[in-house]
Homo-oligomer: A and B are copies of this chain.
Amino acid sequence: MYRNHTCGEIRMENIGQEILLAGWVQRVRNLGGMTFIDLRDRYGLTQLVVDDHSSDEVKNIAATLGREFVLQTRGVVRERSSKNSKIPTGDVELQITELNVLNSSATPPFTIQDDTDGGDELRMKYRYLDLRRETVRRNLELRAKMAHVVRNYLDSNSFIETETPVLIKSTPEGARDFVVPSRMNPNQFYALPQSPQLFKQLLMVAGFDRYYQIVKCFRDEDLRADRQPEFTQIDCEMSYVHQEDVLNMFEGLTKNIFKEIKGIDIVDFPRMTFADAFEKYGNDKPDLRFGMMIHELTDLVKGKEFKLFDDAEYIGGICATGCSEYTRKQLDALTEFIKKPQIGGTGLVYARVNSDGSVKSSVDKFYAPEELQLWAGRLEAQPGDLLLILSGGKEKTLPVISSLRLEMGRQCGLMDKENFKPLWVVDFPLLEWNEETQRFFAMHHPFTSPKPQDIDLLDIDPGKVRANAYDLVINGVEIGGGSVRIFDSELQAKMFKILGFTKEAAEDQFGFLMNAFKFGAPPHAGIAFGFDRLVSMFAGLDSIRDVIAFPKNNSGRDVMNDSPSPIAQAQLDELYLKLVRAE
């Protein structure tokens, strides 16, 4: 037996007991006659004491210890003379009688503590040491706990957890697949799933009624901070449901997670159409932690010989509460901000609402004070507020105002990470027109059902068709999304046609699904939550990396074990593959 207690559990009531501990040396303090060793494991820290009462052997060993050495020790619990109220074991210490070094340690390349001195790259290379830091490990513990809560909720609602295959059929629709060459079927390939979409729909055809899985998915896309080539979804599907049933079930799940993990009761769970979200927040994932809603001013500002506005299709703005005192420099910085290429704005018009209620704008020569008052009224501004107004094409300008709104939210400290505001965005468009390829793409995926009242539009004006599709947004982050599915093989065939599939291509790639629909497919709908994002939001992190035990970097590499890596010629030969030299 290496231990009979952990380093986190010894308390006053253990005083006098002889105890066996094992763990890592967090710190050694040698105070001449006494040596204090902080011994750490996953459960906590316990102070060990070597003093005059200790044997020479113990003293000699204690003198050789360094950080991260692995120890096993036996000792008697006693009350500390100088207590540490910051840790649960801080009232006691272990006066040790036996000390075994189970393993030594080289000096770690960075300090194993919450505020480490290690840079990102170094910590990733030594991820096994980074994970020793309590802050990092706690994120992974949170992840495990959240998975547990999710499973309990879904299990208790009759969902059957079902594993779907990882080696599946490659389909070119959607993002880029990772592929896996098959040795037994030469020159053929499996794909790794971007989601278990088809399988979960087939499980509904199979009568499983309610399915879920916490499942790895894969996308061979260029990476960003919150993207990884492999990621985890809470993937769900239900039969004999309408959109409303799905929203209620997963509103329940979301509330349950907040309650179980954070002790928070989420009361409001509003719904907003995609069209409204775009008009009022400039994007499809409004952050509702603060107002600063977008209002259109087009009708108020035109025809006053201000060319910028007169030429614009759309003029709209927001009211930044309490920002009327922004300096010229701050306002210039905001103009710079919206002009960044990734935001793509052009110019910013502002107006300050002074404490006396008068409005002073950057375009005073075009607009009379009464007109500016109308702007302030439309934007529901109060004395002390700042109006920020942009103009241009509507589709392009609203997203710029959205970015400005979020920036003002940040600057005004309105984005408290512990304030959670969920929202359902509904009624997404079914299709998106792609200029480059001159064809429609499915906004959600090709299996999403049009809204029944819009089906007639499919033949006339497909771009106008709305879908029974929905996203769960929390604090401006898309946490999940789903849709009611098509369950009629003819409608599905029509959908493939609109998406530009030939009959043969549709048959080749999705024939088994359309065939399945011929044998009594039930109405069904589903949703998937991005589990990494959900956990990182609960952990208060901006990136998903620190809620993944072994993440990859932006080139898709694991820098710890230096993979991907070349494989042997014999492996390639077995797979009937030849490498082409990259340029």
Q: Which residues of A contact B (CB under 8 A)?
A: 1-3, 22, 24-25, 40-43, 68-70, 72, 102-106, 108, 126-132, 137, 140-141, 143-144, 147-148, 151, 155, 160-170, 172, 176-192, 198-199, 202-203, 205-209, 216, 218, 220, 222, 229-230, 232, 240-242, 245, 487-488, 512, 516-523, 548-550, 552, 555-558, 560-568, 571, 573-582
Contact = CB atoms under 8 A, between A and B. Distances in A.
A567 B179 contact: yes
30 contacts: A2-B242, A24-B207, A103-B487, A103-B520, A103-B523, A105-B518, A127-B202, A128-B203, A130-B206, A131-B203, A140-B160, A144-B160, A162-B549, A163-B548, A165-B230, A166-B192, A167-B178, A167-B552, A168-B561, A169-B558, A177-B571, A182-B556, A185-B555, A185-B556, A188-B564, A188-B565, A190-B563, A198-B561, A199-B550, A578-B579
Contacts of A172: 568, 571
A222 B184 contact: yes
A520 B68 CA distance: 6
The 10 closest A-B pairs by CB, nearest first: A169-B563, A186-B582, A105-B520, A131-B206, A188-B564, A2-B240, A68-B520, A182-B564, A42-B209, A578-B578
A203 B242 CA distance: 43
B580 A579 contact: no
A573 B127 CA distance: 34
A25 B242 CA distance: 21
Scoring A178, A563, A567 by chain B CB atoms within 10 A of each residue's CB, the highest score goes to: A563
What is the predominant secondary structure among interface residues of chain A facing chain B? loop
A523 B102 contact: yes
Contact of A108 (B140, B180, B519): B519
Contacts of A565: 169-170, 188-189
Contacts of A557: 185
A103 B576 contact: no
A421 to B, nearest CB: 28
Contact of A216 (B22, B129, B166, B512): B166
A241 B1 CA distance: 7
A517 B578 CA distance: 37
A155 B182 CA distance: 37
Contact of A179 (B130, B144, B181): B181
Given A163-B548, A180-B178, A24 B520 contact: yes
Scoring A41, A155, A519, A576 by chain B CB atoms within 10 A of each residue's CB, the highest score goes to: A519
Contacts of A523: 2, 70, 102-103
Contacts of A220: 183-184
B167 A229 contact: yes
A208 B131 contact: yes
Contact of A131 (B40, B207, B571, B580): B207
A213 B128 CA distance: 18
A17 B155 CA distance: 28
